């Protein structure tokens, strides 16, 4: 195999897993190509979080059938969460797939490719590598300034709607020493920002020999010379400790931005989701956070139409959005996922109700986000200039709160921090002027 093409679906973890697969394949001399038709191997890195993600993958996979007929030597691989979920069943829908492996098998990718080349029958290996979290895996990162760094894998929370614990396995943390070494290496290469990745970063450190919790890890990384900004996701509200709030307040490189998925504003729904916090408990955390870090940018995830969600439950979510005033949200219609506990609940809601509720949530949030952005006008922000603006002509950067700011500045400033005065604000980005 000489060249490969990776198609990625799903979350940041998958995006970063694709960077790792690229790193591993490049290390064995293969070239990444952006043109699928030129590749010797096409890898789908798949997501199963909602039914839609799964449908999207199968329709893309179906489109490759003709390419495979035209190039019989082409190998097609399926990686990621659907690979883990479906295993060899993928072959009954798409017999032309050659290789299937799961998220914890990535460290063995080179070996899998060799084994697959040596045979004509499809190879399915989703057994997972129990030592994966201790492996140093090369990564070819898409960005040159901002890097994703996995600090843990898996999830033990078993929220009743979610497939992730079944597909990514139990929580496993990487050793702090390995993470610090990786971040030092990134700083040496010129990276300025790291985003620490895990399904539930707040419970980082469970089972480690060296006793380090998440705030402790942040402190170690705050000392890495050359890194200017540290972000992380995702935090589970239940594990948001006072120590973490203090770290957000005290560590200068840890950005004032937090993604804290609430999912619902109703205690009945939260309990049925097995989230293990209440609305009041969540709001109390927010209050503490904002007292400690007044300019904290907050974002969240919302699921509407969870089984049994009454109109009143839903209104509680709407009220919560008005009360918290998030900078931004991701909102989803509840989607039935195989093997999850919520499947067995009665009172599944109609698509029509879910659609209407999603619409109301998004409309409300749009207005809130627009207002919050407007309130930024006239303030001075530190931005990390990281490239050209989407429309071109300007440079683009992010505030510490992770808002995009477009600004007139020379390209030589890309990669540096700049102070800007915000002059106007839209829904998805701000415009600014460089301070003298």
Chain positions contacting ligand SAH, by CB under 6 A: 49-50, 161-162, 164, 199-200, 234, 236, 261, 263, 301, 303, 332, 334-335, 337
Number of Cβ atoms within 10 Å of the Cβ of 341: 15
Interface with ligand F3S includes 247 (CB under 6 A)? no
Contact 7, 21 (CB under 8 A): no
Nearer residue to ligand F3S within complex by CB, 10 or 205: 10
From 292, 250, 286, 253, select the one nearest 384 (Cα to Cα): 253
Give 225's contacts (C-beta < 8 A, 6+ positions apart): 187
Helix then strand then coil, in percent of the chain rounded to 5, is 40, 20, 40
DSSP assignment of 298-333: EEEEEEES-TT--HHHHHHHHHHHHHH--SEEEEEE
Nearer Cβ to ligand F3S (45/431): 45
146 interacts with, out of ligand SAH, ligand SF4, ligand F3S, none, CB within 5 to 8 A per kind? none
Return the number of the residue (10 or 261) whose C-beta is nearest ligand F3S. Answer: 10
Structure tokens at 304: 């509407």
Nearer to ligand SF4, 165 or 397 (CB): 165
Rg (CA), the chain: 22
* Alpha-carbon span 291 to 306, nearest angstrom: 32
81 scored as a contact of ligand F3S (CB under 6 A): yes
Interhelix angle for 12-27 vs 109-117, to 10°?
60
Say which entry of ligand SF4, ligand F3S, ligand SAH, none residue 64 contacts (CB below 5 to 8 A, set by partner kind). none
Nearer to ligand SF4, 150 or 200 (CB): 200
Between residues 50 and 108, which has the closer beta carbon with respect to ligand SAH?
50
Cβ-proximal residues to 284 (8 Å cutoff; 6+ apart), any chain? none
Site string for ligand SF4, 139-158 (x = CB under 6 A): ----------------x-xx
**Which does residue 81 bind out of ligand F3S, ligand SF4, ligand SAH, none, counting CB within 5 to 8 angstroms by kind?**
ligand F3S
Which region among 89-97, 133-141, 159-167, 313-321 touches ligand F3S (by CB under 6 A)?
159-167
Distance of alpha carbon 266 from alpha carbon 263, whole angstroms: 9
Where do we find the tokens 């019989």?
72
Q: Are 432 and 420 in contact (CB under 8 A)?
A: yes
Pick one of 162, 247, 296, 321: the residue that binds ligand SF4 (CB under 6 A): 162
Say whether residue 165 binds ligand F3S (CB under 6 A): no
Angle at 220 between CA 417 and CA 239, to 5 degrees: 100
Nearer to ligand SAH, 54 or 98 (CB): 54
CB of 14 to ligand F3S, least distance (A): 4
Q: How far apart are CA 166 and CA 354, in angstroms?
A: 25
Q: Which does 158 bind (CB under 5 to 8 A by kind): ligand SAH, ligand F3S, ligand SF4, none?
A: ligand SF4
Give least dist CB 123 to ligand F3S, A: 21
The rounded distance, in Å, linking the Cα atoms of 167 and 412 is 44
Nearest-10 crossing angle of helices 242-250, 279-292: 30
Q: How far is the CB of 334 from ligand SAH (least distance, A)?
A: 5
Residue 401 as a binder of ligand SF4 (CB under 6 A): the answer is no
Q: Least distance (Å) from ligand F3S to the CB of residue 160?
A: 16
Bond before 154 cis per omega within 30 degrees:
no
Binding residue for ligand F3S (CB under 6 A) from 5, 146, 168, 259? 168
Binds 332: which of ligand F3S, ligand SF4, ligand SAH, none (CB < 5-8 Å by kind) = ligand SAH
The strand ranges marked E within 96-240 are 99-101, 123-125, 146-150, 152-153, 172-173, 193-197, 229-233
Of 16 and 337, the one with the shorter C-beta distance to ligand SAH is: 337
Residue 337 interacts with which of ligand SF4, ligand F3S, ligand SAH, none, CB < 5 to 8 Å by class: ligand SAH
Site string for ligand SF4, 232-261 (x = CB under 6 A): ----x-------------------------
* Per CB under 6 A, 200 contacts ligand SF4: yes
**Which is closer to ligand SF4, CB of 148 or CB of 191?**
148
Residues 380 and 420 sit within 8 Å (Cβ to Cβ): yes
Q: What sections of 99-222 are H helices per DSSP? A: 109-117, 164-168, 176-188, 214-222
Interface with ligand F3S (CB under 6 A): 10-11, 13-14, 47-49, 80-81, 163-164, 167-168
Interface with ligand SF4 (CB under 6 A): 155, 157-159, 162, 164-165, 199-200, 236
């Amino acid at each position: 195999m000489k060249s490969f093409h990776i198609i990625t679906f799903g979350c940041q973890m998958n995006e970063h897993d694709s960077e790792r697969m690229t790193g591993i394949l490049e290390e064995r001399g293969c070239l990444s190509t952006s043109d699928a038709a030129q590749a010797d191997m096409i890898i789908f890195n798949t997501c199963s979080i909602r039914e839609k993600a799964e449908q999207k993958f199968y329709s893309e996979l179906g489109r490759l059938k003709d390419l495979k007929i035209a190039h019989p030597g082409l190998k097609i691989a399926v990686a990621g969460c659907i690979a883990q979920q479906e295993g060899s069943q993928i072959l009954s829908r798409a017999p032309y797939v050659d290789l299937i492996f799961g998220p914890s098998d990535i460290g063995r990718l080179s070996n899998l490719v060799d084994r697959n080349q040596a045979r004509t029958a499809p190879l399915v290996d989703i057994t997972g590598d129990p030592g994966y979290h201790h492996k140093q895996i090369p990564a070819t990162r898409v960005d040159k300034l901002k890097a994703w760094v996995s600090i843990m894998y898996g999830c033990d929370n078993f929220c009743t709607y979610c497939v992730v614990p079944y597909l990514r396995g139990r929580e496993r943390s990487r050793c702090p020493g390995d993470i610090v070494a990786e971040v030092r290496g990134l700083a040496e290469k010129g990276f300025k920002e790291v985003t620490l990745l895990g399904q539930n970063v707040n419970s980082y450190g469970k089972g480690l020999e060296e006793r380090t919790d998440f705030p402790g890890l942040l402190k170690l990384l705050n000392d890495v010379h050359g890194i200017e900004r540290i972000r992380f996701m995702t935090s589970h509200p239940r594990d948001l400790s006072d120590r973490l709030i203090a770290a957000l307040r005290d560590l200068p490189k840890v950005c004032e931005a937090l993604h804290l998925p609430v999912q619902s504003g109703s205690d009945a729904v939260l309990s049925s989701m097995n989230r293990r916090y209440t609305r009041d408990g969540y709001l109390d955390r927010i209050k503490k956070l904002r007292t400690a870090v007044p300019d904290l940018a907050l974002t969240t995830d919302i699921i509407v139409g969870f089984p049994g969600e009454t109109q009143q439950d839903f209104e509680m979510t709407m009220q919560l959005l008005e009360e918290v005033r998030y900078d931004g949200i991701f909102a989803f219609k509840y989607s039935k996922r195989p093997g999850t506990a919520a499947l067995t609940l009665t009172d599944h809601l109609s698509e029509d109700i879910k659609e209407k509720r999603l619409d109301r949530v998004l409309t409300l949030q749009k207005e809130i986000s627009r207002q919050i952005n407007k309130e930024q006008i006239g303030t001075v922000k530190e931005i990390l200039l990281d490239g050209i603006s989407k429309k071109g002509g300007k440079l683009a950067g992010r505030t510490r709160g992770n808002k995009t700011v477009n600004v007139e500045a020379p390209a030589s400033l890309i990669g540096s921090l700049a102070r800007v005065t915000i002059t106007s604000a839209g829904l998805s980005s701000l415009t600014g002027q460089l301070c003298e």
